[in-house]
Amino acid sequence: MTDPLLRVENLKTQFFTDAGTVRAVDGISFEVREGEIVGLVGESGAGKSVASMSLLRLIEDPGEIVAGEITYKGETIFGLEEGPDGELREREDMLSNEEIRTQIRGNEIAVIFQDPMESLNPVFTIGGQLREFIELNRDLPKDAAKEEAIRMLREVGIPDPEQRYGEYPHQFSGGMRQRVLIAMALACEPSLIIADEPTTALDVTVEGQILELVDELQDKYDTSFLWVTHDMGVVAEICDRVNVMYLGEIVEQAPVDELFHDTKHPYTTALLNSMPRPDRTVGELEPIEGVMPEAINPPSGCRFHPRCPEAREVCQRVHPDAREVAHADGHPHRAACLKHDVFDAGYDESPPLETATQETAGVPAGGRSTGGPGGEDGATDLKDSVIEDGGEPTDGTRSDDRGETHE
């Protein structure tokens, strides 16, 4: 296999606040290969945005990348080595801020954020901003840049682009503005686009259209994406492979079909069970019990154990790293859960823990069995629907969960 486009190894990003050290990203490893759409999914506060900002070294004070390695096309975006004094220092071959700004950002790796109004200036026309961006980044004369801007607007499905070119951001709908940002991201033909919840603020129909557009453009330009979302429905729609994040860690990593059909981490199961689906009424949804703890003081052992229906005593003590538990489509399926044999942690012999989830899960109406050896029926349920209904696992009900899971 060829080298991945982007390789992230054991990345740690922390914020040094008065209240303590926030371990926002705590040792994550993943790759994005050429032409892939890779998901980063998890609840609010999991560390998805901090992880994606770290990739372009956009973390600001009091935050800092404290460990790990980020490699893009063989270039070191971040890396540490031990200096002569024994202290860690930045590696010599690490790109400078200037190099990141001029050679990587925009040209090689573009970013699309959730709120287009943050990226678009309200006092300049859409076309003017896009043209200027193209002029600066592609070294084209004004006329050619304008032509290219109009072409890009058409490419992302803005009707009547010559006309809309002269309009201001407030004259565009949310979905149209997001299309403009996609045009801007694509304008320099980057190899990788990092998209941080770019469709979260949109209604479901518009979101669907944008996801379709991304799929099309991805096919055409062979751009790779790192797609950040809290929504498993979005993951099912566009991702090839997915990383599930919980409290700063990647707890499961697999090709998307494999993740949905053969879920290996109870947190992923919980995320999938909390996802609206056409075959379920809202009343049948099972919200994940409890709230994610603070990243300042994460729980001992497995960080998910206080909320996990399958937690055993050992899960309080032993911290699982993500290990390969299966292999699918030429990719490893990794999970950080002690119940798997590869951990050899004595899970089977360990007494079940009384977690909040297990107490409430006993209520018959919930339909979910208590933890213990047979506690995987959540996952079994899911096998029947999500993928089999043709990649449309969600419907109009999806917007319902937005307010609750994001912000």
Ligand X SMILES: Nc1ncnc2c1ncn2[C@@H]1O[C@H](COP(=O)(O)OP(=O)(O)OP(=O)(O)O)[C@@H](O)[C@H]1O
Taking CB under 6 A as the rule, does residue 406 contact ligand X?
yes
The CA distance from 106 to 289, in Å, is: 40
Nearest to ligand X of 176, 201 (CB atom): 201
Taking CB under 6 A as the rule, does residue 298 contact ligand X?
no
CB neighbours of 314 closer than 8 A, spacing ≥ 6?
301, 338, 345, 346, 347, 350
Q: How near is the Cβ of 15 to ligand X at its closest, in Å?
A: 4
Q: How near is the Cβ of 365 to ligand X at its closest, in Å?
A: 30
Q: Is 278 helix (H, G, I), strand (E, B) or coil?
A: coil
Number of H helices, E strands in the chain: 15, 14
The CA distance from 188 to 111, in Å, is: 12
Which of the listed partners (Ni ion, ligand X, none) does 45 bind, with a CB threshold of 5 to 8 Å by partner kind? ligand X
Q: Where does residue 141 rank: exposed (0-12), middle (13-18), buried (19+ CB within 10 A)?
A: exposed
Q: What's the sign of the alpha-carbon dihedral 300, 49, 198, 171?
A: positive
- Residue 102: DSSP 8-state: I
- Exactly one of 7, 15, 164, 394 binds ligand X (CB under 6 A); that residue is 15
- Exactly one of 7, 26, 30, 42 binds ligand X (CB under 6 A); that residue is 42
- Exactly one of 48, 146, 277, 368 binds ligand X (CB under 6 A); that residue is 48
Residues in the interface with ligand X (CB under 6 A) total: 17
The CA distance from 258 to 298, in Å, is: 29
Q: How near is the Cβ of 52 to Ni ion at its closest, in Å?
A: 8
Taking CB under 6 A as the rule, does residue 47 contact ligand X?
yes
Q: Which range touches ligand X (CB under 6 A), out of 40-48, 174-182, 201-209, 256-264?
A: 40-48
**Residues in the chain, how many?**
407
Q: Which range touches ligand X (CB under 6 A), out of 16-24, 249-257, 303-311, 378-386?
A: 16-24
- Residue 236: DSSP 8-state: H
Taking CB under 6 A as the rule, does residue 198 contact ligand X?
no
- Exactly one of 5, 6, 8, 24 binds ligand X (CB under 6 A); that residue is 24
Site for ligand X in 50-109 (CB under 6 A): 50, 63
The CA dihedral of 17, 21, 24, 28, to the nearest 10 degrees, is 150
- Exactly one of 13, 49, 253, 273 binds Ni ion (CB under 5 A); that residue is 49
The CA distance from 73 to 156, in Å, is: 27
Site for ligand X in 218-257 (CB under 6 A): 230
Give the strand pairing for 20-32 and 75-78.
Answer: unpaired
Residues that bind ligand X (CB under 6 A): 15, 17, 22, 24, 42, 44-50, 63, 230, 295, 406-407
Residues that bind Ni ion (CB under 5 A): 48-49
